[in-house]
Amino acid sequence: MRKQTMDRDWIATARTLSEALPYLQRYSGAVVVVKFGGNAMGDEEAMADFARDIVLMRQVGIFPVVVHGGGPMINEMLGKLGIESQWVRGKRVTDKATVEVVEMILSGLVNKRIVQAINDQGGRAVGISGKDDDLMVCEADDPELGFVGRPVEMNVQVIRDLYNAGMIPVIAPVATGMADNETFNVNGDTAAGAIAGALRADRLLLLTDVAGVKNKAGEVITQLTPEDVTALIEDGTIAGGMIPKVETALKAVDEGVRAVVIVDGRVANACLLELFTEHGAGSMIRSTEPRVKPRSE
C-alpha cells in the first residue's frame, strides 16, 4: 500500500512538471521582480522555501530580482536601542538616528540572511542596496516624515550586470538622496515597483500576508485592470493597507511592467504557483487580458 502511494506521488510530480512546460517556456529569459516581506522573513523554514523557489526560477532561465523589507526587525532593534518612534498619519517619522538603524538592519542583517538562504539552496545571490552604483536616488516623500524617500532617479544597469552574470540580485530598499549624500528609507513595495518599472520587468510579484485584493463579499479577485482598481478604491472596496500596494502596482504597469501580482506569501511555493500553473495565485493587475499567460505575450 505504501509503495502504491509513493508511486502515485511520483506520477503526480511528473505530471505537474509536464503541465508546467508551456509556462517554463513562456518565462525563459523574463525578468521577474519579487518583493519579499511579511512573516516569512522571520521563519527559517519559510525563508528556505522562498529561497528554493528563487533558485529554481533562475535554474529554468528566469532572471529573478529580489527586493525585501524588514519592518519587524527594524522595530525590534529600535526597541533594544531605546529609540522611540513617532508617527504622522500612520507613518513612522524617520529621523537621523532611525535611518541609521534602518540601514544597518536592511542592508546588513536582513539582506545577508536572504543572500545566505539563496546560496544555501545552490543559488548565487549578491546583496546590494539602492545606494550601490546610485541604483535608486530619492528625495523626501514628505518633509514631516524625515528621511523617508520617494525614488526620482533609477540606474538599474548594476542589476542587469548581476543577473546577466548569473547572479541573483537581492536589494535592500535604502537609497541615496539627491543632495548632501543623504540616506533614505524607502517603502519596500515602492522600491520594488520602481525597480520593476525601470527594468520593464515581465512580472512584479508583491508577496504579502493577505490572499490578494478582495471584493465586498470577501472573495479574492484574480484579475483586475487599472480601471477596475480605481473604481474599487473609489467605492471603498479597496481600503487601508491595500491601497498603497495597488497604487504601486498601477504605477509599475504604467511604467511598462507587463503585470503585477499581489500574492499570498504565506502559501507554500506561491511564486511557482503564480508563474508555472494555469490557475496562478493572488490578484493580477494588468492593462490587458487574458489571465492565462500565452507564449507570445
CATH number of the domain that residue 126 is part of:
3.40.1160.10
Of 11-15, 47-51, 178-182, highest mean pLDDT:
47-51
200: containing domain: 26-285
Other C-beta atoms closer than 10 Å to the C-beta of 244 total 13
Is 15 among the domain residues?
A: no
β-sheet bridge partners, residue 91: 88
Give the pLDDT score at 93: 85
Is 89 among the domain residues?
A: yes
Is 280 among the domain residues?
A: yes
Would you place residue 40 in the very low, low, confident or very high pLDDT band (cuts 50, 70, 90)?
low
Please tell me which residue, 188 or 14, carries the higher pLDDT value: 188
Give the pLDDT score at 105: 95
Is 18 among the domain residues?
A: no
> Residue 134: which of 115, 158, 118 has the closest Cα?
158
CA–CA dist 261, 95 (Å, integer)? 33
Q: Which three cell numbers stand for residue 211?
A: 490572499
Is 102 among the domain residues?
A: yes
Would you place residue 290 in the very low, low, confident or very high pLDDT band (cuts 50, 70, 90)?
very low
User: Residue 223 phi/psi, 5° resolution?
Assistant: -150, 140
> Residue 42: which of 34, 33, 50 has the closest Cα?
50
Q: List the alpha helices (DSSP H) in 121-171.
A: 157-164
Render pLDDT for 208-253 as a digit per residue (tens, 0 to 9).
888 889 999 889 999 899 999 999 999 999 988 898 899 999 999 9
Is 263 among the domain residues?
A: yes
Number of domains in the chain: 1
Residue with grid cell 546583496, as numbered in its chain: 127
CA–CA dist 275, 208 (Å, integer)? 16
Model confidence pTM above 0.85: yes
Secondary structure (3-state) at 114: helix
Q: What is the CA radius of gyration of the chain?
A: 19
Judge contact between 223 and 265, C-beta under 8 A: no
Residue 84 has pLDDT above 90, yes or no: no
Is 224 among the domain residues?
A: yes
Give the pLDDT score at 292: 41
Would you place residue 293 in the very low, low, confident or very high pLDDT band (cuts 50, 70, 90)?
very low
Lowest mean pLDDT among 40-44, 70-74, 118-122: 40-44
